A and B are shown apart, each in its own frame.
Chain A
């Protein structure tokens, strides 16, 4: 048994636990990913409110904990304790299963997301296909939620949502195919659908696919980046849950814990599509300029980034604590904030240790790129009005689809010329 567990830790094993067939480590990875994603969703909750608030000349949550840091916890507690309402006339079974299906679809995607060359639950030779297929199952959950609620607003929301997701998947698929096409530009001329293989292809071609065949790769990336916002039903494509029209869209009738599952699904979905975009176009786990700046000194410099990030965050928290009003009420808050900063600083210190430093590199750069996308999601929400349904369809079918198709053809042509 112990051998079985330690066998994966052997230096010669250079594959993911899923490929190595080591169920124990696969389970550990699953728990890590599930816990990590849930934690990021909780952080996102706080960050979205704060960033949105600061963009809108507000200060956001300030009451629960210093600078509202405990707000997500308070919210979660409230949602769990809330009365669980199933509307009269609702289809109870379907009503129950809808949020679970969305969660299942979203979290299955994380099976193949490579946080590093070996930091994935598993690697499949059809990884990308699996990912797109499973993530589009989410629409089933939305339709089920809309139908089972037995109410007009959720029904319209669900119809909008399904039409929207199906339309934008086409454009998304075309953009993805042109990235896959780029992986085949090697001596053997064989492409790959494996997520790890795609990143390795970018490594061996010495370029992120976003900058390959400039500007073709960039256009495909932009098409994907737009389609993925629509795919996750976020502003400016948030029609399925357009607050001012459909109150809350497909989850109007949901409350409490089940509603929070929808929210968890939405945010986890945002992270999932961001990680697809990162893997396909932004070099996945690779640090910036691994080929240009390849001297050991550069390696050393880049490996300090994770620790520096945490030190920066800790510095911000200490600054916030120092700025707090010097009254007895705020003394506790300031102490709490300083304590939080201390924890962040401690994490930074741990990340400075050489073995941790090298081990965390891949994950850090992958997560940093995703964080950039997540910031964009919030920024969009603060900036854009909402599209109307017919305009949304027009953008999907008449703009993104032809552009995606054109880029695909041109990429193929460029590949023939280059190869």
Chain B
């Protein structure tokens, strides 16, 4: 009874059921310190040989109480905290929060600010997918893509650093627009990066897409149907790989996404290979969006008229954006004071992680690793 989880475990860890040849099942604890759980995820596997009979996720090792912190900070002060949730895609987190508060205040960021937001958010999507690809491939045993993707992601981080001084937790946006005007040469830097990264994505694909071992390891692994995805609330590339064409950038355009021409890549089988292809295609679409945004960036102010002390009217708001990992939503309840009454984040990683059990059932131990990788979770966002 020392382990508080054992009492409520759906795996019924104490029971000794007999399986084939009267052998007992093996309970394997994976994590929180394990090279392939992407941080501090703990997974308890119930195995029959190498076959997974069931699994249970235990989370909370990285819980920092971000939502509670929000209740003791002003709206502007809480802004940097959201970057620490999905630290791989900090720009998207900030974008979602700023837009939610703007909606609550009923102000709108000026067009130039919105274009800058789109450029940075899409750059961040590429960075996030690159990190996913590197770690996912490493989990499946291909070491080399990791170093290629990190090399190229570095260029994005350099642009972030030049823009706002930070590389990872950028805090790039402010409520009402952007604090910083773009630096001289920003557009050239972004264009140079786009020309540079296109061939690099081809390079990753060359290593993996037709690689026999890669295809065997990912095809028909962790299959999830579109219906199950919707039932579980799974969003993002995982949902799209199952054939559901749902992307908030098209469905409920925020920022200036309605100005841009791009496609939503979808898969058909909903397996790990399709999710891989969808994310690779998404990187290319991001390049397309950024190119249009850089070409069409208007001049003008970058900050809307926002009072020095932000005091939204009483009310509540839910605003969601398409983060690299799926639907990232912010629910903010305001009691009219300078601090939010309650902030609730709908993190894509947390919701997507629910599908792990369904996707891993009756697969092998090695597939669990592949599925954790393909879900693209960030534990900072799961635990908050």
- Mark A residues whose CB is within 8 Å of B: 52, 55-58, 152-153, 156, 160, 235-236, 238-239, 242-245, 247, 381-391
For residue A152, which residues in chain B have a CB less than 8 angstroms away from its CB?
A: 26, 28-29
A245 near B366 (CB under 8 angstroms)? Answer: yes
In the bound complex, residues from chain B placing their C-beta under 8 Å from that of A388 are 216-217, 364, 366-367
Q: Which residues of A contact B144 (CB under 8 A)?
A: 55-56, 382-383
Q: Are B141 and A386 in touch, CB under 8 angstroms?
A: yes
The CA of A235 and the CA of B147, in the complex, are separated in Å by 18
* Nearest CB of B to A372, in Å: 21
Contact A385 B137 (CB under 8 A): yes
B369 with A244: CB separation less than 8 A:
yes
Q: Identify B217's interface contact among A243, A382, A385, CB under 8 A.
A: A385
Q: How far is the CB of A162 from chain B (nearest CB, A)?
A: 13
The 10 closest A-B CB pairs, nearest first, are A386-B141, A244-B36, A56-B147, A385-B142, A385-B141, A244-B139, A385-B140, A388-B366, A385-B213, A385-B214
Which residues of A sit under 8 angstroms from B142, Cβ to Cβ?
383-386
Indicate which residue in B139, B147, B216 contacts A387 across the interface (CB closer than 8 Å).
B216
Residues of B within 8 A of A382 (CB): 143-144
**Contact for B141 among A57, A156, A236, A247, CB less than 8 A:** A236
Residues of chain B with a CB closer than 8 A to A57's CB: 147-148, 151
**Does the CB pair A381–B143 fall under 8 Å?**
yes
Q: Residue A245 contacts which of B146, B147, B208, B365 (CB distance < 8 angstroms)?
A: B365
Question: Is the CB of B313 closer than 8 A to any CB of chain A?
Answer: no
Among A235, A238, A384, A387, residue most surrounded by chain B Cβ atoms (within 10 Å)? A384
Q: Does B211 contact A (CB under 8 A)?
A: yes
The reply to whether the CB of B181 lies closer than 8 angstroms to some CB of chain A is no
CB-CB nearest in chain B for A387: B213
- Assess whether A384 is in contact with B365, with CB atoms less than 8 Å apart: no
In the assembled complex, which residues on chain B have CB atoms less than 8 Å from the CB atom of A383? 142, 144, 207
Residues of A contacting B28 with CB < 8 Å?
Answer: 152-153, 156
Do A244 and B138 touch (CB < 8 A)? Answer: yes
Shortest beta-carbon distance from B254 to chain A in Å? 36
9 inter-chain pairs at a CB distance below 8 angstroms, sorted by A residue, are A55-B144, A57-B147, A152-B29, A239-B366, A243-B36, A382-B144, A383-B144, A385-B142, A387-B217
Question: Residue B35 at the A interface, CB < 8 A?
Answer: yes
**Shortest Cβ distance from A391 into B: residue:** B216
Name B354-368 residues within 8 Å CB distance of A.
Answer: 364-367
How many Å lie between the Cα of A56 and that of B28 in the bound state?
Answer: 33
User: How many angstroms between the C-alpha atoms of A381 and B365 in the bound complex?
Assistant: 21
Given contacts A242-B366, A245-B365, contact A384 B147 (CB under 8 A): no
Write the chain A residue with the least CB distance to B150: A57
Given contacts A56-B144, A57-B151, A388-B217, contact A156 B365 (CB under 8 A): yes
Instruction: Determine the residue in chain B with the shortest Cβ distance to A390.
Output: B364
What is the minimal beta-carbon distance from A405 to any residue of chain B, in angstroms?
A: 23
Q: Cα distance A386–B144 when bound, in Å? A: 12
Q: For A56, what are the chain B residues with a Cβ–Cβ distance below 8 Å? A: 143-144, 146-148
**Which residue of the partner chain B has the closest CB to A239?**
B366
User: Cβ of B137: which chain A residues have Cβ within 8 Å of it?
Assistant: 385
B binding-site residues for A, Cβ under 8 Å: 26, 28-29, 34-36, 50, 137-144, 146-148, 151, 207-208, 211, 213-214, 216-217, 364-367, 369
Could you say which of B35, B141, B217 has the most chain A C-beta atoms within 10 Å of its C-beta? B141
A389 surroundings in chain B (CB, below 8 A):
50, 364, 366
Known: A386-B140, A386-B141. A236 touches B148 (CB 8 A): no
Minimal Cβ-Cβ distance residue in A for B218: A385
The residues of A that contact B34 with a CB separation of less than 8 Å are 247
| A179 CA / B152 CA spacing, docked (Å) | 48
Q: Tell me the complex Cα distance, A242–B139, Å.
A: 9
Shortest Cβ distance from residue A320 to the other chain B in the assembled complex, whole angstroms:
22
Minimum CB–CB distance for B15 against chain A, Å: 18
What is the CA–CA distance of A84 and B146 in the complex, to the nearest angstrom? Answer: 33
Complex contacts, A153 vs chain B, CB 8 Å: 28
Q: From the candidates A236, A245, A384, A391, name the one contacting B369 in the complex (CB within 8 A).
A: A245
Would A235 and B26 count as touching, CB distance under 8 A?
Answer: no
Tell whether, in the assembled complex, residue A235 and residue B141 are in contact, meaning their CB atoms are under 8 Å apart.
yes
Q: In angstroms, how far is the closest chain A Cβ from the Cβ of B28? A: 5
Q: Chain B nearest CB: distance from A156 CB in Å?
A: 7
Minimum CB–CB distance from A376 to chain B (whole Å) comes to: 16
Q: How far is the CA of A220 from the CA of B211 in the complex (A)?
A: 24
Complex CA gap A316/B366 in Å reads: 43
Contact A243/B148 with A388-B217, A388-B367, A389-B364 known, Cβ cut-off 8 Å = no
**Are the CB atoms of A245 and B36 closer together than 8 Å?**
yes
A91 to chain B, nearest CB (A): 19
- Pair A244/B141 contact, Cβ less than 8 Å: yes
Contacts of B147 in A (CB 8 A): 56-58
A257 to chain B, nearest CB (A): 23
Contacts of A244 in B (CB 8 A): 35-36, 138-141, 369
**Most A CB atoms within 10 A — which of B50, B148, B211, B366?**
B366
A71 to chain B, nearest CB (A): 19
Q: Is the CB of A384 within 8 A of B213?
A: yes
Assembly CA distance A1 to B52 (angstroms): 67
Contact partners of A242 in chain B: CB under 8 A: 141, 366
B207 contact set on A, CB distance < 8 A? 383
Complex Cα spacing A153 to B4, Å: 24
Residues of chain A with a CB closer than 8 A to B143's CB: 52, 56, 381-382
Which chain B positions have C-beta within 8 A of A58? 147
Taking CB atoms, residues of chain A closer than 8 Å to B35 are: 243-244, 247
- Complex CA gap A52/B147 in Å reads 11
Extra contacts, 20 of them, besides A385-B137, A388-B367 (Cβ < 8 A), are A52-B143, A55-B144, A56-B148, A57-B148, A156-B26, A156-B365, A243-B36, A244-B139, A245-B36, A245-B365, A247-B34, A382-B143, A383-B207, A384-B141, A384-B211, A385-B142, A385-B213, A386-B217, A389-B50, A389-B364
User: How near does chain A come to B315, taking the closest CB pair, in angstroms?
Assistant: 47
Nearest-neighbor residue (CB-CB) of B151 within chain A? A57
Greatest chain B CB density within 10 A among A52, A57, A388 is at: A388
Would you call A238 and B141 a contact (CB within 8 A)?
A: yes
Residue of A nearest to B365 (CB): A245
CA distance A156 to B34 in the complex (A): 16
A-chain residues with CB within 8 Å of residue B364 when the two chains form the complex: 388-390
Q: Smallest CB–CB gap between A171 and chain B, Å?
A: 18
How far is B217's CA from A236's CA once the two chains are assembled, in angstroms?
12
Report Cα–Cα, A391/B364, bound state, in Å.
Answer: 11
The residues of A that contact B365 with a CB separation of less than 8 Å are 156, 245
Complex formed: what's the CA distance from A277 to B212 in Å? 25
